[in-house]
Amino acid sequence: MALRNILTKEQPLLYKKSRAVTDFNPRLHQLLDDMRDTLLEANGVGLAAPQVGVLRRAVLVIETNVTEDEDEYVIELINPEIIESSGEQDGAEGCLSVPGEYGLVKRPMTVKVRAQDRYGKTFEVEGTGLTARCFCHEIDHLEGVVFTAKAERMLTEEELQGAGAGEEE
Ligand code: NI
């Protein structure tokens, strides 16, 4: 298990655009394995490569919409693109790079993403609710966009205490 440091919002790298992944090699696999360990250790629901200082288009999203007898699982998305979106949700969003702060962000209710897996094979995956929010949030990271730039407003201390801890992406 190898943990990587998660960059916080003060670090300029977080605001840079990531480049496409072109080599689906052991180095990429190591990055993805480390990102997975880092995400699980931090109890987040998503993580993008630039958050660990690597400006490459790779993200992880945890699928949390599972049935009782199913385990949540990590989806690896390389060079992801949103190809369809529908509906709307407006809710609190957080980020592992902005610990303890949450803001209201509008997102589609459902999105379909086309991406490659760690071997370069193209696939499509659909997410709804938190998973859709997370796909959008992580893909924004690849453009150098942190959710605070999209938030209608940040939640106050009172609202945070009333709502309890949210999810961090
Ligand atoms: Ni984030």
| Closest alpha carbon to 116 in 18, 24, 19, 17 | 24
Confidence of residue 28 (pLDDT cuts 50, 70, 90): very high
Taking a 5 Å cut-off on Cβ, the residues next to ion ligand 1 are 95, 169
Which is the catalytic residue, given 76, 93, 138, 168?
138
Confidence of residue 168 (pLDDT cuts 50, 70, 90): confident
Q: What is the pLDDT of residues 47-104, one digit of tens each?
A: 999 999 999 999 999 999 999 999 999 999 999 999 999 999 999 999 999 999 999 9
More confident site: 135 or 158? 135
What does the block give as tokens for 93? 């969003």
Per-residue model confidence (pLDDT) at position 163 = 62
**What spacing in Å lies between the alpha carbon of 137 and ligand 1's midpoint?**
6
d(CA 59, CA 112): 15
Per-residue model confidence (pLDDT) at position 30 = 98
| Sign of the C-alpha dihedral computed for residues 125, 128, 90 and 162 taken in this order | negative
**What spacing in Å lies between the alpha carbon of 144 and ligand 1's midpoint?**
10
Q: Is the pLDDT of residue 27 over 60?
A: yes
- Alpha-carbon distances, residue 127 vs 101, 105, 110, 135, 165 (angstroms): 24, 17, 6, 8, 22
**What spacing in Å lies between the alpha carbon of 139 and ligand 1's midpoint?**
9
Q: What percent of the chain has pLDDT over 90?
A: 91
| Closest alpha carbon to 95 in 5, 8, 2 | 8
Q: What percent of the chain has pLDDT over 70?
A: 98
pTM for the full predicted model: 0.95
Confidence of residue 34 (pLDDT cuts 50, 70, 90): very high
Q: What is the pLDDT of residues 150-165, one digit of tens each?
A: 999 999 888 888 765 5
d(CA 54, CA 58): 9
Per-residue model confidence (pLDDT) at position 164 = 57
Query: Could you confirm whether 168 is annotated as catalytic?
Result: no
**What spacing in Å lies between the alpha carbon of 76 and ligand 1's midpoint?**
15
